[in-house]
Structure 1
Amino acid sequence: MANNASLKPVKDLKPFKTKWRSQVKVLHSWLQNTGSGGETLQMVLTDEQGEKISATCKRNHILSVQRKLPLGKWCVLTTFSVSQASGQYRPTSHPYKIMISDETVITNSDLIQDSIFLSLARYEDIIDGNFKTNFLIGNTFMSICYGKIVRLEPVQTVQVKGQDRKKVQFRLVDANGKDLACCLWGKYAEQLEAYVECEQPLIYLIRFAKISFYRGEVKITNAFDASIVYLDPTMEEALQFKEKLGEDELPLAVIEKKNGCKHRAIKLASNHDDNQLWRCEKRQVKITEVIPVFKLHLIVRDDTETCKLMLLNTVAKTIVGREVVDLWDGSYDEIEDPELLPEPIRA
């Protein structure tokens, strides 16, 4: 059992000695190539007060540190040095960072504390420039919990320095109507690729995000491999907002222009002329005309197993062989009874 009297909190760590002893756990880690310095292991550590500090070790110590200091486990670090934190994008605002060497001793701790220490940033502070752009936003909800995706564009493959990279762009609106532009690259874009045509609300959390500027607008992007993205997170803050979202959730349709461009529309109350009103999510204007699209839920079976599928407009139209507008009966309600399905779909 660790002698708590000898443990120093993260906020007290300074560069004047190497005999520090501190109880921490890893919130996040990633490999980073520093060029001439070779590959390093980068980490974000926290103490039980939620104070965070970055840490690093060189290539020859990576496997040992990963084994002794796994993600989410409390450990005691003994004999490590502390140096000035630097770099264009820093994962914490702590002025110093921990350097783990072959002299560092890593032992188990009996502390049990499962918190991931979220402290949610406000959109207003990001938009107004209250965060320094050389710091990553360590605990920012970019999600329906504190932001609703109002425009999720198709995933694109673009050339960056002669290599193909995927990217996806979207905007998020929080409960106060503030919105942020977001752009994710690489594996983060691929995570969202399956959801581009999904009409269901997305719960989305990105930690250690980078603040950038594009054409005079603040934009949130992933910081290379240093960011963490959660789809449909289960922490209490997310569940509370998801419950609230369910109370306010409205039916969705898709606006389709003649050139095939689609934007979702939210169903509003009818006006005094009993005309159905919708709000275009992209342009935030009220409209009276929308075009329905397919969203078919199927159970398919072969000689071994059954599985569930969801077919969206383009694929569904190819299989059904008819335009959805030809089968639409004017109702905006989802059809759940298979006996009420139009004959082309049942066939």
Structure 2
Amino acid sequence: MSNLTTFVPLTKLRPFKDNWRIQVKCLHSWKQNTPFAGDTFEMVLADQWGNKIHATSKRSLMQRIQRVLPIDSWGVIEHVTVTPAGGQYRTTNYKYKMVIAEDAVLSRSDLVDDRVFISLANYEEIENGTKKQAFLIDVIGRIHDLGDVQTVQVSGEDRKRVLFRLVDAEGNNLACCLWGTYAEQLEPFSLNGKDQTIICLIRFAKIKEFRGELQITNAFDATRLFLNAMIPEVSNITQRLSNDDLSVALVPKPSGKKDGKRILYNWNDAEIKTIAEVAEANQTMSQMDPTLLLF
């Protein structure tokens, strides 16, 4: 049986040691390719105390890990190491990331815990810069002003894109732009009527500034998107967002910031980079500062 006293909290992990025994839930996982790390398998893990850590392994270990630790399940991992975390688009604010190597021992856990450990960002903290752009965030809101899902050219390839605004329970709003498969998930709503209520939870979302406005977008495949999902941890917020009287407030912003009105920009002018291109840029920057490595 699972026993809390037999597992080390993620916050206790330290480098130069590998005899750790941890019990974790997989919040998300995805494949990644970068010039300096090659093909890897990335994960966000959480322990029963709510601590979160980014984990990485060679792509060759992916199937072995997924068999024991698929998304939204608990498992036990022994013999892992941690290294300093840094760079852009960090999935957690923990100072270390976990490395799962060939000698790691993985097994299933009998722990029953349906929490998904959401850490919702406040809209005002996003707009005033309290939430740093180097870290990915969880954000929830009601979709307002949903645009059509369009196909645009990016680096010579067709990619789908959708624009909308997220509104919180106080009427504050944020611009959003989702790409690829994330945009496709909104396509049925776009086609079947845009006046319906859509509660949108974006996990591990990226904050990006475009022409003076901070906006929310997906961070390649590191993001998870939930539409009208029944999640107990945010049920109270979901109920408030579903109120038919909810409206977009024109909230005054500090000097130099945009107001709450919709600002139309031509997203075709935006600079779009693949994760490999971002990683390559990080690698160049890391020659000046080693803390700027991706994850």
TM range (shorter): 0.7 to 0.9
Out of 147, 153, 156, the position equivalent to 2:150 is: 156
5 Å-filtered alignment, 1:1-347, equals 1=1, 4-137=4-137, 139-141=138-140, 143-144=141-142, 149-196=143-190, 197-236=193-232, 238-244=234-240, 248-249=244-245
Q: Provide the secondary structure at the position in 2 that maps to 1:152.
A: coil
Distance 2:233 2:8 in 1: 30
Change (3 A) 1:8 1:241: closer
Deviation of 1:242 after TM superposition, in Å, equals: 4.6
> In the comparison of the two structures, how many residue pairs are matched?
248
Greater relative contact order (Cα < 8 A, sep 6+): 2
Question: Deviations along 1:290-320, whole A, 9 cap, x unmatched?
Answer: xxxxxxxxxxxxxxxxxxxxxxxxxxxxxxx
Q: Provide the secondary structure at the position in 2 that maps to 1:11.
A: helix
Asked if the contact 1:173/1:180 (under 8 Å) is kept, the reply is yes
Asked if the contact 1:151/1:282 (under 8 Å) is kept, the reply is no
Change (3 A) 1:237 1:108: closer
Asked if the contact 2:83/2:96 (under 8 Å) is kept, the reply is yes
Distance 1:249 1:238 in 2: 19
Q: Provide the secondary structure at the position in 2 that maps to 1:94.
A: coil
Question: Deviations along 1:112-132, whole A, 9 cap, x unmatched?
Answer: 111011222110111111111
Deviation of 1:172 after TM superposition, in Å, equals: 1.9
TM-score, length-normalised on structure 2?
A: 0.78
Distance 1:203 1:82 in 2: 36
**Which structure 1 segments of 5+ residues have no match?**
253-280, 284-347
The higher radius of gyration belongs to 1
Distance 2:40 2:59 in 1: 5
Deviation of 1:12 after TM superposition, in Å, equals: 0.9
Change (3 A) 1:79 1:204: same
**Which structure 2 segments of 5+ residues have no match?**
248-259, 263-295
Deviation of 1:2 after TM superposition, in Å, equals: 5.1
Distance 1:168 1:70 in 2: 29
Distance 1:69 1:44 in 2: 11
Distance 1:237 1:112 in 2: 16
Distance 1:4 1:247 in 2: 40
Q: CA RMSD in A?
A: 2.2
TM-score, length-normalised on structure 1?
A: 0.67
Q: Percent identity?
A: 50
Asked if the contact 1:181/1:219 (under 8 Å) is kept, the reply is yes
Distance 1:120 1:85 in 2: 22
Change (3 A) 1:246 1:39: closer
- Deviating 4+ runs (over 3 angstroms): 1-6, 237-250
Q: Provide the secondary structure at the position in 2 that maps to 1:170.
A: strand
Deviation of 1:248 after TM superposition, in Å, equals: 3.8
Distance 1:161 1:249 in 2: 42
Change (3 A) 1:3 1:114: closer
Asked if the contact 1:150/1:282 (under 8 Å) is kept, the reply is no
